Structure 1
Amino acid sequence: MKELTLRQVEVVRAVMIAGTIQGAANLLNVSAPGISRLIKHTEDGLGIRLFERRAGVFVPAQEAHSIFAMLEQVHRRMDNLNAAVGALQKGHDFTLSFASAPSIAQFIAARVITGLRQRFPDLDIDLDILKIEETLDYLLLEQGEVVIMSSPLDNPAVESIPICEGRIVAIMPEGHELAEKSAVSIRDLIRYPFIGVDPDDPYGRTLARPFLDAGLSPRHAMRGRFAQTIVSLVRHGLGVAVIDEFSVAEVYMPGLVRRPLVEPAVITAWSVQKRGRQLSSFAEQTVHLFRRELAKARARETWDRAPD
């Protein structure tokens, strides 16, 4: 016994609604001969007559009335299915939970969420800002799908994937004498009150690396835990600092001057997830957007103009 395909259901219903082959072709935006052939092929394959031809009009055959009633049910269910798929494509009835380190969340996360909202306008988004010691519980307890960090997580229960490498840069308040330079050495920076992050913190250890590589040990006039704190203290004229470029990725940052370091120094952004967990398509898109936005920030020259 031959079975109807979904395409045949669609064509038979179109002929039933339009009453003519040409009308059905117009509904489906295809050629009339193709519709005519498919109707004949369907009737021959089923061994029953679906339509009676009356003066060029196709009328459902008496014996096929029960079939047409079921075809209409199938079509309604397909409409419902397509509506559900369409809603899912927009993110309807789904909550995407992910987290970011404060340094990356400052500017990059907002750009990522903008991209997500453009593609999935109905998606419910839950963004957490985490310290590195909070990340493991967040992922293992499945409070969120992925965390974007400035350090990898050394634990076999999670997987850390590098997604972008950025520069460590020097920052100073506007009007500072180091702002006269087009690039700043770490040896220049340590001559001034220096603001940093505890080197025992993974982020602080990364920021301290260029000094340690040069055999220097910077003395902190004051310390902050997060990049935003460092930026605020520098803006208020309390000292100078080094920081990852993602934390100062805004084009215009009044009160702050950014300069490249003479010594090469880099930081890596990582995507961290529970090992073995399959990310949702929304989370995969989130990681893709972080990769893209971090790379754009890396490529963009945001150095503030040095005096001529």
Structure 2
Amino acid sequence: MNLDDLDIKQLDAFAAVMSAGSITAAARVLNRSQPTISRAIQDLENNIGFLLLSRNGPRIAPTSQGVLFHSEVERFLSGLRHIKERADAIAFGEPQPFEIASIPAFTATIAPFALARIPPGRLPRKIFLHTMMAENVVQAVSSGTAELGISSLPLDHPGVDVHWIGSAACVAVVSDSDPLVRRRRIRLIDLQDRPLIATSNPFRLRPRIDAAFRAAGLAPFSAIDTNASVSAVAAARAGMGVAVIDPVTAYGMPVDGAVVRPLDVQIPFHFGVISRSATPLAPVLAEFSDHLRQVARDTLPDFIEHDVSEMEALLRGVFGTVSQDAC
């Protein structure tokens, strides 16, 4: 592949097709003709040496290579947009735009409130607040795509510096019509015969939830597995089961019709703020990090801040035992 042959309009056309789902819709989005979009995709395929779309008459579908290439194209086009925003800020002598990568628990709750505490004059005209899975947050920060990241543990990555670590106990969320709302604290044994709703990532929070049930000699029925706690809250609100989720989502985004209750065991949810290793943090981002810590302290009833030196001990305890609380 000759990189000199790549054309931004070709990449835009491909990204639009992948987003809109068809060449016709992409042409409408880009205000270009359908034949122009088709030709741009074909020229791009010729330049890179493999098919991006499989064609069956008027129907198209991305190839496996096209799906992989699309993620690279999105990253490249996003980088170009960021360059333009930064160039505009330099031209007008304004604060530089920045990107924050965060797990959904924080982008939907605490992060916006922390940003709101920064005086408007210190903030750039453009802020990129991107929601990602934890593994992608670490990758975005270590590669320099994002200046700051908010993620759950583990964060043991050579490409990032950890600024601070916090933790709070997971909670149960039930519909406000559920009899369990009468309890001040929900016991795990109360969930034995109830459908369980929880996140499914096997390398993050889910192993600790499963370990807590095993330690109690229980094997609940897992009704719904999801990749975002906000979806678990919605399912619990609809009466589809009891959600056991991180406290950030539960306390940071109250939902009418859903009630939060502490559990009778401590299932810790660990999280931290990271930046690219050996890269100075802009003062406004350092300020945001401090506000984030304070909002977390104000929002989470049992927030604990850990010294960064405790990282290894916290990681060793991720799959360890849980402690019992009184009901």
Q: Same fold (TM over 0.5)?
A: yes
Task: Write out the 4+ residue segments of structure 1 that deviate beyond 6 Å after TM superposition.
Answer: none
Partner of 1:226: 228
Residue 247 of structure 2 corresponds to residue 245 of structure 1? yes
Deviations along 1:152-176, one digit per CA (max 9) or x if unpaired, are 3232222334432212111111110
Preserved contact between residue 110 and residue 292 of structure 2 (Cα < 8 Å) = yes
Q: Does 1:194 align with 2:196?
A: yes
Question: How far off its partner does 1:221 sit?
Answer: 1.1
Q: Report how far residue 203 of structure 1 moved.
A: 2.9
How far, CA to CA, are the matches of 2:121 and 2:250 in structure 1?
26
What do residues 28-54 of structure 1 show as CA deviations (whole Å, max 9, x unaligned)? xxxxxxxxxxxxxxxxxxxxxxxxxxx
Larger Rg: 1
Change (3 A) 1:271 1:208: farther
Structure 1 unmatched runs, 5+? 1-86, 302-308
- Counterparts of 1:210 and 1:197 in 2: how far apart (Å)? 15
Instruction: Specify every segment of 5 or more residues in structure 2 that has no aligned partner in the other structure, as ranges.
Output: 1-88, 304-327
Give the match for residue 114 of structure 2: 112
Aligned-partner Cα distance in 2 for 1:199–1:127: 22
Q: Kindly indicate whether the alpha-carbon contact (under 8 Å) linking 1:148 and 1:272 is maintained by their aligned counterparts in 2.
A: yes
1:94 to partner: Cα distance: 0.9
| Kept in 2: contact 1:93–1:124 (CA 8 A) | no
1:50 corresponds in structure 2 to none
Separation of aligned partners in 1, 2:107 and 2:259 = 20
Offset of residue 224 of structure 1: 0.8
Relative to the length of structure 1, the TM-score reads 0.63
Shifted more, 265-274 versus 202-211: the winner is 202-211
Cα distance 1:207–1:101, how it changes in 2: closer, same or farther (>3 A)? farther
CA contact (8 A) 2:201 2:227 kept: no
Aligned residue for 1:94, secondary structure, equals coil
CA separation of 1:213 and 1:280: change in aligned 2, threshold 3 A: farther
Task: Give runs of aligned pairs for residues 154-193 of structure 1, distance below 5 A.
Answer: 154-193=156-195
Residues 136/265 of structure 1: CA separation in 2 closer, same or farther (3 Å cut): closer
8 Å Cα contact 1:152-1:160 kept in structure 2: no
TM-score normalised to structure 2 length: 0.59
2:256 is matched with 254
Structure 2 Cα separation of the partners of residues 115 and 282 of structure 1? 11
Q: Distance in 2 between matches of 1:201 and 1:134?
A: 13
Q: Give the equivalent residue in structure 1 for 2:325.
A: none
Q: Percent identity?
A: 23
Give the aligned CA root-mean-square deviation in angstroms: 2.5
Do 2:198 and 2:229's aligned partners in 1 also have CA atoms closer than 8 Å?
Answer: no
CA shift for structure 1 position 117: 4.7
